Amino acid sequence: MEEIKGYSNRILEINLTEKSWSVSEASIKDREMFIGGKGLGMKLLYDRLKPGTDPLGEDNILVIMPGVVTGTGAPCSGRFEAISKSPLTGIIATASCGGPFGIHLKTAGYGGLVIKGKSKEKCVVWFDHKTVEFRDGSDVWGLDTVETQEKISADSKKEASLVIGPAGENLVRFSNIASGHRFLGRGGLGAVMGAKNLKGVVARGKHYKIVPANPEKFEKVKKKASLFIKREAVTLSMGKFGTATNVKFVNRAKMLPVWNYFFGEHDQAFRISGEMIREKHETKVSTCKPCSIMCGHRGKFNGKETAVPEYETLTLLGSNLGIFDREAISRFNDICNRAGMDTISAGGTLAWVMEAVEKGLVSPDVFVSSAGENDSSEQQGSKERSSKPYSLMFGSPDGVEDALESIARCEGFGKEMGLGSRALSQKYGGRDFAIQVKGLEMAGYDPRGAYGLGLAYAVANRGACHLSASIMSFEVFLGLLKPDTARAKPQMVKFVEDLTCGVNALQTCQFTMYAYTLEPFLTKYTPGFILKNLMLWLPEIALALLDFSIYPDFFSSITGIKMSSADFLKAGERIHVLERYMNTREGISSRDDILPDRMIMETISGDEKKRVVPLDKMIGKYYKLRGYNSDGIPVSRLLDKLKIPSEPCFTN
């Protein structure tokens, strides 16, 4: 087997309009400055995508990028990133996935994949290390994500695919892309593929072996990283109970979304906790590969083995709809996974619809689904679909499956629901309770319980995303940062954003951040109260003490390119600011860095502290720290400092 030392800068560029392909080269300079994964992918997109491009048009571009650590055997190194312009938000969307496609892309010899144009016919693209084939996709069009992968990846051991389900085909704005049983979840990237008539991409990898440039150093870093992961408490809890381990912390902090973020806790929350799921559903590990954290699980629901719903699904398609029935939530999860839909946006949208019906903004008569052929007992033998009214109401699982199916099929009111909560609220009113930022529905943590998260949601590049700066980990899970204060939050958000961008560029799992930052000596052995006070009163010092050197050490040992912790953080900052800059060219400014009215004007029902997110107290300072002007625009001095060219060097 041939070897790739660390990384490949060969970028496979596919043009669907012309059914042609070529290989371009990413520069070493870009590799150093943008690392890989999300960073280098962002730079590739910056150099290719013109502002104002229609996300569902021929000119939109989908970039798929493995990271530097992808395929090296480092802990949690099976991940890859996708970057494109989102049909849901109209700005840049990024998503990370632990499916097998990334490793196959990299071991086929490519450091990235750029998909351009639009196929006239429904198609599937297949490639290996030396060629690309454009195959007919009409026979798999309409199949779900599981069936499609089975059908287009003939040799599942040597091939891996990226596919969309019916939701992506039907341009549901929050449709996703599947690889194995993992997803490029957010921002509607499935619809980008659907609009290109691209049902799937198959990578036949395993031609190259990825070897680190400095194997000895790599092994040393890997050993340390593995040890940290094996020791850190939150990480261990996720391995045991999955991401649903968060339920108990979040419910206790009164920031569990319930009834479209009207309540912040529920006495039945324990039913969807990781502990209860483990006890009742015979769970076993089913993770990204390779993985050392093991947060992904499968379990027995409704009499069959299936994916255990993640925390976000349990909250957005569960508690936020007033539903705590695990079996019902599992059914919703399966529908979304097979149809290829983001469970967060699907749940957030349904919650808005339920509230809009309550408030009389949407008529309950609009909910009519077409029952499937087998459902129609009155029309046995008929292939006609019959109409079936359903209802959507908080606290009731009835109707949710019909609604999800109708969204995926783009039928009836499902067509409108498939546009997301922002579009719905623009048409029907009710913007105050459309729980989204920049068009992206909010994740399952109510920021009124953790103000730093409120700031993070407001300024996150892709919208109300909890992964841009998962600061609630410090505020809630670890108890290291007082949650209900504006103090120190701008500094913390900026730092975590930059570090996260670095991690997503390296492309390893964000959950490694617990182990890699908390287990090093200084953090681990500094008494908690000192750490807490430092973070609150002297955040700059606290952050300077935080040791995250494992990340740059991985980069250096794999690539042979020297990188310090400061360089790594700077690269993260560069990536974050580039994404922001690209968004501002699409019209984003401080006017969009807002939170839904519910978060800044209404308190959580029953909250004795009457908390709302004091966004105004934090955002100015954040802009200043970032080097944005008061409109939230990165100024040229900042771009120069970060060596971001203010005009891209277009390459087509």
According to the binding rule CB under 8 A, does residue 268 interact with another protein?
yes
Task: Give yes or no for a contact between 608 and 614, defined as CB atoms under 8 angstroms apart.
Answer: no
Which of 238-246, 267-275, 462-470, 474-482 is the region at the interface with another protein (rule: CB under 8 A)?
267-275
> Which of 125, 276, 294, 443 touches another protein by CB under 8 A?
276
Q: Which helix (H) or strand (E) holds 322?
A: none
Task: Give yes or no for a contact between 595 and 437, defined as CB atoms under 8 angstroms apart.
Answer: yes
According to the binding rule CB under 8 A, does residue 435 interact with another protein?
no
Token pair for 44: 């590739």
Q: Based on CB atoms, which residue is closest to another protein, 104 or 271?
A: 271
Residues 178, 632: Cα–Cα separation, whole Å: 34
Residues 325, 344: Cα–Cα separation, whole Å: 17
Enumerate the β-bridge partners of residue 204.
159
According to the binding rule CB under 8 A, does residue 280 interact with another protein?
yes
According to the binding rule CB under 8 A, does residue 358 interact with another protein?
yes
Enumerate the β-bridge partners of residue 386.
371
Shortest Cβ distance from residue 234 to another protein (Å)?
23
**Interactions with another protein, residue window 298-337 (CB under 8 A):** 322, 324-325
Q: Based on CB atoms, which residue is closest to another protein, 276 or 644?
A: 276
Which of 153-161, 258-266, 557-565, 571-579 is the region at the interface with another protein (rule: CB under 8 A)?
258-266
Which of 96-104, 255-263, 434-442, 631-639 is the region at the interface with another protein (rule: CB under 8 A)?
255-263
Q: Based on CB atoms, which residue is closest to another protein, 276 or 550?
A: 276
Enumerate the β-bridge partners of residue 531.
none
Shortest Cβ distance from residue 34 to another protein (Å)?
48
Q: Based on CB atoms, which residue is closest to another protein, 263 or 301?
A: 263
**Interactions with another protein, residue window 591-610 (CB under 8 A):** 605
Which of 144-152, 170-178, 270-278, 593-601 is the region at the interface with another protein (rule: CB under 8 A)?
270-278
According to the binding rule CB under 8 A, does residue 83 interact with another protein?
no
Residues 34, 18: Cα–Cα separation, whole Å: 30
HSE-up (13 A, CA, CB side) for residue 182: 25
According to the binding rule CB under 8 A, does residue 401 interact with another protein?
no
Shortest Cβ distance from residue 82 to another protein (Å)?
38
Cα dihedral value 644, 50, 14, 123, nearest 10: 140
* 5 three-class SS: strand
Which of 10-18, 226-234, 264-272, 635-643 is the region at the interface with another protein (rule: CB under 8 A)?
264-272
Q: Which of 487, 495, 490 is nearest to 533 (CA)?
A: 487
> Which of 22, 223, 270, 389 touches another protein by CB under 8 A?
270
User: Which residues make Cβ contacts (< 8 Å) with residue 332, sequence separation at least 6?
Assistant: 309, 313, 317, 343, 347, 400, 401, 404
Q: Based on CB atoms, which residue is closest to another protein, 387 or 605?
A: 605
Shortest Cβ distance from residue 448 to another protein (Å)?
16
Shortest Cβ distance from residue 252 to another protein (Å)?
13
DSSP secondary structure of 55-66: TTSTT--EEEEE
Which of 76-84, 136-144, 233-241, 263-271 is the region at the interface with another protein (rule: CB under 8 A)?
263-271
DSSP secondary structure of 213-230: SSHHHHHHHHHHHHHHHH
> Which of 155, 267, 384, 616 touches another protein by CB under 8 A?
267
Beta pairing class for 112-116 and 62-66: antiparallel
Q: Is the peptide bond preceding residue 447 cis, with omega within 30 degrees of 0? A: no
Shortest Cβ distance from residue 374 to another protein (Å)?
24
Beta pairing class for 436-437 and 440-441: antiparallel
> Which of 126, 262, 352, 511 touches another protein by CB under 8 A?
262
Shortest Cβ distance from residue 390 to another protein (Å)?
13
Q: Based on CB atoms, which residue is closest to another protein, 190 or 322?
A: 322
Q: Based on CB atoms, which residue is closest to another protein, 70 or 319?
A: 319
Strands (E), 270-324: 284-285, 297-301, 304-307
Shortest Cβ distance from residue 324 to another protein (Å)?
6
Q: What's the distance, CA 390 to chain centroid?
A: 31
Q: Based on CB atoms, which residue is closest to another protein, 103 or 272?
A: 272
Residues 31, 313: Cα–Cα separation, whole Å: 35
Shortest Cβ distance from residue 281 to another protein (Å)?
11
Enumerate the β-bridge partners of residue 388.
369
Cα dihedral value 34, 178, 512, 577, nearest 10: 30
Residues that bind another protein (CB under 8 A): 259, 262-263, 267-268, 270-271, 276, 280, 322, 324-325, 358, 393-396, 605
